[in-house]
Amino acid sequence: MKLTSRNTHRDIAYFYVGLIIAFSLSGIFLNHRQSWHPRKYTYEKREISIAPVSKDSINAQWIDRFARQQQINDNLRRFSADENRLRISYESHDVQVDLATGKGKIESYFIVPLLGQMTQLHQDTSNWWIYYSDIFGIGMMVIAITGMFIEKGKLSFRSRGWKLALIGIIFPLIFLFLLS
């Protein structure tokens, strides 16, 4: 096989096609995670009522007792209480309680198979994944660079492609600098 831009572009793209699709889909999911998040798909919402409680009495022991009473067998991530509201976050549950009335809700979550794991790819920080992602990033640069030299003539990068590439660079910069 001859080493050309077309062959290099094609073979690296074939190698990474699965990861490209997974990153593309999970990127879309993460963009819309406020409305639907495959890592926190709500499958149950339960209204609860507890005795009103003051912010000052909430500590780790109170949270443990609350979890046992509500039959939440899950790992605690964090909790916070202000004057009006208690928020507790577990790995698979979120709790909100109005401290004055004691009324609240418990939302239970599960990870959507495959889709949830794909979104984890964007958030994983393990060493082996970071190295693999770095190699993937280099592969994407090779795909982009070799793609510039595949077409010849009036549709080539030199004739037409550079304009589209410039627009493709300017467009995200507008969002980055002007709209954020």
Where among 54, 89, 110 does a domain terminate? 110
Report d(CA 108, CA 126) in Å as an integer.
Answer: 27
- Helix, strand or coil, per DSSP, at residue 152: coil
Minimum mean pLDDT among 108-112, 139-143, 144-148: which range? 108-112
134-147 average pLDDT score? 89
Where among 110, 141, 164 does a domain terminate? 110
Helix axes 5-31, 127-147, angle to 10 degrees: 120
pLDDT of residue 98: 93
Structural domains counted in the chain: 3
Report d(CA 35, CA 19) in Å as an integer.
Answer: 24
User: Within this chain, do residues 105 and 47 fall inside the same structural domain, yes or no?
Assistant: yes
pTM of the model: 0.56
**Nearest one of 109, 116, 113 to 94, comparing CA atoms:** 109
User: Within this chain, do residues 78 and 123 fall inside the same structural domain, yes or no?
Assistant: no
Residue 131, CA distances (Å) to 21, 107, 109, 126, 136 in order: 19, 36, 31, 9, 9
Range of the domain at 33: 1-37+113-149
Pick the more confident residue, 156 or 102: 102
155-159 average pLDDT score? 84
25-39 average pLDDT score? 74
